[in-house]
Structure 1
């Protein structure tokens, strides 16, 4: 089923109106780039990981982000971005429980059973984002989960650039989806309104828009073509191919191989 019309133009980047206070939990491949891009866009960014602020490398902070303990990252912020593996969400849930209701929580995670252990509800067909909301006890925005880390780090372009890559954003709240879309635009990508969290399975691993570097014009057809029943098998085929190429499931393949592989398997 097609999602609602793309509404990126209805939600201009927040930095045009004010600086947004952002706390990012997790500084892996995705979290690191988000810290760099969002602080470069003029936002007030705090970053944290499970090992402590002294372990966060200087390049993560090079654009102005500040390293803080995890508990401080979610205090006095407009937006919390969770960029951690899905099997660690339960550990962060008590902290998120204390975050004010008006604070927007954005989740970038994806379910990979070989990394996250098997989650029975998701294996039975529950939408990943809905499972996340249950673990955290509050709604989330799903964003930056459907782009490869190398593409996120290296393929951002100014608004209006030909071929600018689009990133789908899903949420149940129009306001929160708008916040997520504005921040996606600030990281150098076209934000695409992908509808509600119930529809966000269309941007899970194995879906046609997942890590295939599509443009805004290409995104509607990719979302419409998604087939929920085929996602797990396609996801696992991609993991197996990557393991064969690089030797393990933790190492990312070179960026262009990853995009070619995703397009071959998912589209």
Structure 2
């Protein structure tokens, strides 16, 4: 990666956050990580499962990141201060899945997808939805170089074309073919209960299930 590559900050050091942070480092990005505790508490686990990342306080990680990845337990999202995310590209890798998360009143809005609710809360950020429809083990194991015949696809949905393009590049460099949809609302097709959720698919297969992707 060159010096103009965006810095990635991952909020959440659980299974999804750890895999995404490690994958981004291996793709050549500068990666900060933050969890609910202090950076000192995170240093040991980061050195083992996310080598090359920089543990930070969450506030500092948000400030330092050009792209901030939300890989938090869902119940913690509503506690985030929207002002800290102003001007940031935010990747929503979370899911609202009641059998797993329990009922979350914050996300109980039938007319909006979960990522639209994230955008509604983070009013001054630009939210892009991706990394949510494959499990952490699939993101870990299914990464392939560009052009590999067995390369899997990941959907990328957002309202801002420039932000979506930047995140699609991240997806590609991590090891997946990005399938771009033209709006955050269309990202509901990546949510639990939809045909693509939890299913490893090629670019052609994913495109067939979610409709025609936006032009890359």
TM-score of the superposed pair, with normalisation by structure 2: 0.88
Q: How far apart are the structure 1 equivalents of 2:163 and 2:28?
A: 20
The 3-state SS of whatever aligns with 2:4 is coil
Provide closer, same or farther for how the CA distance between residues 190 and 41 of structure 1 changes in structure 2, counting only shifts above 3 A. same
Provide closer, same or farther for how the CA distance between residues 129 and 99 of structure 1 changes in structure 2, counting only shifts above 3 A. closer
2:93: which partner in 1?
A: 108
Q: How far apart are the structure 1 equivalents of 2:110 and 2:65?
A: 35
**Which of 15, 18, 37 is 1:51 aligned to?**
37
Q: Which moved more, 1:156-165 or 1:45-54?
A: 45-54
The 3-state SS of whatever aligns with 1:130 is helix
Q: Which moved more, 1:67-76 or 1:169-178?
A: 67-76
**Which of 179, 192, 209 is 1:205 aligned to?**
192
Q: How far apart are the structure 1 equivalents of 2:126 and 2:141?
A: 30
The 3-state SS of whatever aligns with 2:158 is coil
**Which of 122, 126, 130 is 1:136 aligned to?**
122
The 3-state SS of whatever aligns with 1:183 is helix
**1:38 CA displacement:** 0.8
Equivalences, count:
207
Q: How far apart are the structure 2 equivalents of 1:112 and 1:205?
A: 6
Listed one character per residue, the Cα deviations across residues 54-86 of structure 1 (whole Å, up to 9, x for unaligned) are: 333022331x11111111111132111111122
TM-score of the superposed pair, with normalisation by structure 1: 0.72
Higher strand share: 2
**1:52 CA displacement:** 2.1
Provide closer, same or farther for how the CA distance between residues 155 and 112 of structure 1 changes in structure 2, counting only shifts above 3 A. same
* Contact 2:10/2:32 (<8 A) preserved: yes
**1:105 CA displacement:** 1.0
Q: Specify the structure having the higher radius of gyration (Cα).
A: 1
* Contact 2:112/2:185 (<8 A) preserved: no
2:53 corresponds to 1:65: yes
1:20: which partner in 2?
A: 6
Q: Which moved more, 1:31-40 or 1:165-174?
A: 31-40
**1:43 CA displacement:** 1.1
Q: How far apart are the structure 2 equivalents of 1:100 and 1:136?
A: 8
Q: How far apart are the structure 2 equivalents of 1:78 and 1:156?
A: 23
Higher helix share: 1
The 3-state SS of whatever aligns with 1:111 is coil
2:113: which partner in 1?
A: 127
* Contact 1:24/1:35 (<8 A) preserved: yes
Q: Which runs of 5+ in 1 are unaligned?
A: 1-14, 225-267
**1:21 CA displacement:** 1.1
The 3-state SS of whatever aligns with 1:217 is helix
1:145: which partner in 2?
A: 132
Q: How far apart are the structure 2 equivalents of 1:17 and 1:67?
A: 20
**Which of 74, 83, 97 is 1:97 aligned to?**
83
**1:175 CA displacement:** 0.4
Q: Which runs of 5+ in 2 are unaligned?
A: 212-216
2:192 corresponds to 1:178: no
